[in-house]
């Protein structure tokens, strides 16, 4: 735990992050000044999450290409590893949720989504990065936006524009209840789904990171106090270690849940008429 804290220290340098607050997530590295956006001031900057995101895209591209460039019938070790992840998304998520008839075109989309989210989530605990990029709401919103576009697009393409709305109403309902159901379904399709998809991922990463910061930086603060409080830093760091392990699991689960729900939305839009 102490190396973890030590790694975090440069970040804490110059300012105590304790108690942590949301400003913790605003880490501009290069600033280009400000612009006026709809009457409010916005800083133009390359932020740390952007750099991490670019780094993960680069590493993932390199890894995926390197291990599948010479994809063989009898896989090498690297290919077998990539295949394990690919199979997990392809068969465990895409095929199960969308169905074996239509799933294949969506596999690249879901696989990209899964590895990108998973790697970025784990960046929240991998030293020396230790910054979950999905803790910045802009990035989950970007990914959710893509899922949103995809599932509406395939739904309209399959059922037609009007047919898509008719498709939202389950068959066999009495006529008077149909408008209400349509309203509820539209709320689900156009508001609830994207909102929960983005907020779930963001909230988990955001809160998880704050939690780790509380235990790690809090432990450091206690350590500096001297006397009895220095001793209390030990359980704080033990807790930080436990929370890091727990966080690794949560980060995986959130990546999984995100693609699972994305696949289920796509599959839901693709099912035959009721």
Partner 1 sequence: MQLIASTLTAVPVVAAADADPEATAVPILPYLPELIFGLVAFGILYWVVAKFVVPNLEQAYAERTAAIEGGMQQAEKAQEEAEAALREYKAQLAEARDEAARIREEAKEQGASIIAEMRQQAQTEANRITESATKQIEAERQQALVSLRSDVGRLSTDLAGRIVGESLEDQTRQSGIIDRFLAELEAGNVRPEVVGSEVGGSDAGGSEAGSEGQGS
> Is 196 near partner 1 (CB under 8 A)?
no
Residue 2 or 61 with smaller CB distance to partner 1? 61
Q: Which of 93, 118, 143, 266 touches partner 1 by CB under 8 A?
A: 143
> Is 136 near partner 1 (CB under 8 A)?
yes
Neighbouring residues of 83: CB distance < 8 A, sequence distance ≥ 6: 75
Residue 168 or 260 with smaller CB distance to partner 1? 260
Phi then psi for 60, rounded to 5 degrees?
A: -65, -40
Q: Which of 68, 188, 196, 264 touches partner 1 by CB under 8 A?
A: 68
Residue 137 or 232 with smaller CB distance to partner 1? 137
Residue 61 or 192 with smaller CB distance to partner 1? 61
Residue 86: CB minimum distance to partner 1, A: 6
**Within 10 Å of residue 39's Cβ, how many Cβ atoms?**
5
Q: Which of 6, 84, 126, 142 touches partner 1 by CB under 8 A?
A: 142
Residue 49 or 267 with smaller CB distance to partner 1? 49
- The answer to whether residues 97 and 267 touch, using CB atoms and an 8 Å cutoff, is yes
Phi then psi for 269, rounded to 5 degrees?
A: -75, -20
Size of site (CB under 8 A) for partner 1: 62
* Rounded-to-integer distance, Cα 73 and Cα 191, Å: 44
Residue 212: CB minimum distance to partner 1, A: 16
Binding characters for partner 1, 200-219, by CB under 8 A (x = yes): --x---x-------------
> Is 266 near partner 1 (CB under 8 A)?
no
Residue located via tokens 């690794």: 248
* Rounded-to-integer distance, Cα 97 and Cα 268, Å: 8
Neighbouring residues of 266: CB distance < 8 A, sequence distance ≥ 6: 97, 98, 106, 147, 150, 151, 154
Question: Using omega within 30 degrees of 0 as the cis cutoff, is the peptide bond preceding 139 cis?
Answer: no
Residue 20 three-state SS: coil
> Is 221 near partner 1 (CB under 8 A)?
yes
C-alpha dihedral sign at 38, 39, 43, 49: negative
Subset of residues 26 to 65 that bind partner 1, contact rule: CB under 8 A? 26-28, 37, 40-47, 49-50, 53-54, 56-57, 60-61, 64-65
Residue 108 or 160 with smaller CB distance to partner 1? 108
Subset of residues 72 to 91 that bind partner 1, contact rule: CB under 8 A? 72-73, 75, 79, 82-83, 86
Using alpha carbons, select from 151, 83, 125, 273 the residue that is nearest to residue 211.
125
Using alpha carbons, select from 259, 113, 132, 123 the residue that is nearest to residue 203.
132
Interacting residues with partner 1 (CB under 8 A): 14-16, 18, 22-23, 25-28, 37, 40-47, 49-50, 53-54, 56-57, 60-61, 64-65, 68-69, 71-73, 75, 79, 82-83, 86, 104, 107-109, 111-113, 115-116, 136-143, 145-146, 199, 202, 206, 221
């Amino acid at each position: 735990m102490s190396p973890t804290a030590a790694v975090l220290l440069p970040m804490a340098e110059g300012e105590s992050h304790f108690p942590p607050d949301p400003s913790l997530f605003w880490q501009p590295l290069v600033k280009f000044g400000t612009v006026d956006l709809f009457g409010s001031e916005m800083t133009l900057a390359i932020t740390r999450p952007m750099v991490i995101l670019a780094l993960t895209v680069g590493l993932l591209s390199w890894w995926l290409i390197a291990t599948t460039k010479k994809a063989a019938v009898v896989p090498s070790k690297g290919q077998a590893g990539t295949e394990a992840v690919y199979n997990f998304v392809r068969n465990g998520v895409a095929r199960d949720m969308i169905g074996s008839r239509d799933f294949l075109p969506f596999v690249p989309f879901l696989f990209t989504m899964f590895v990108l989210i998973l790697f970025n989530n784990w960046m929240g605990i991998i030293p020396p990065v230790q910054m979950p990029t999905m803790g910045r709401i802009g990035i989950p919103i970007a990914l959710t936006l893509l899922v949103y576009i995809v599932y509406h697009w395939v739904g309209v393409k399959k059922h037609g524009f009007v047919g898509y709305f008719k498709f939202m109403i389950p068959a066999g309902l009495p006529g008077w209840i149909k408008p209400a159901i349509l309203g509820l379904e539209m709320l689900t399709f156009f508001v609830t789904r994207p909102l929960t998809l983005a907020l779930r991922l963001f909230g988990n990463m955001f809160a998880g990171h704050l939690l780790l910061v509380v235990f790690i930086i809090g432990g450091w603060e206690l350590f500096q106090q001297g006397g009895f409080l220095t001793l209390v830093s030990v359980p704080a760091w033990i807790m930080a270690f436990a929370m890091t392990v727990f966080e690794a699991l949560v980060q995986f689960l959130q990546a999984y849940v995100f693609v699972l729900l994305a696949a289920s939305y796509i599959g839901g839009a693709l099912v035959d008429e009721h």
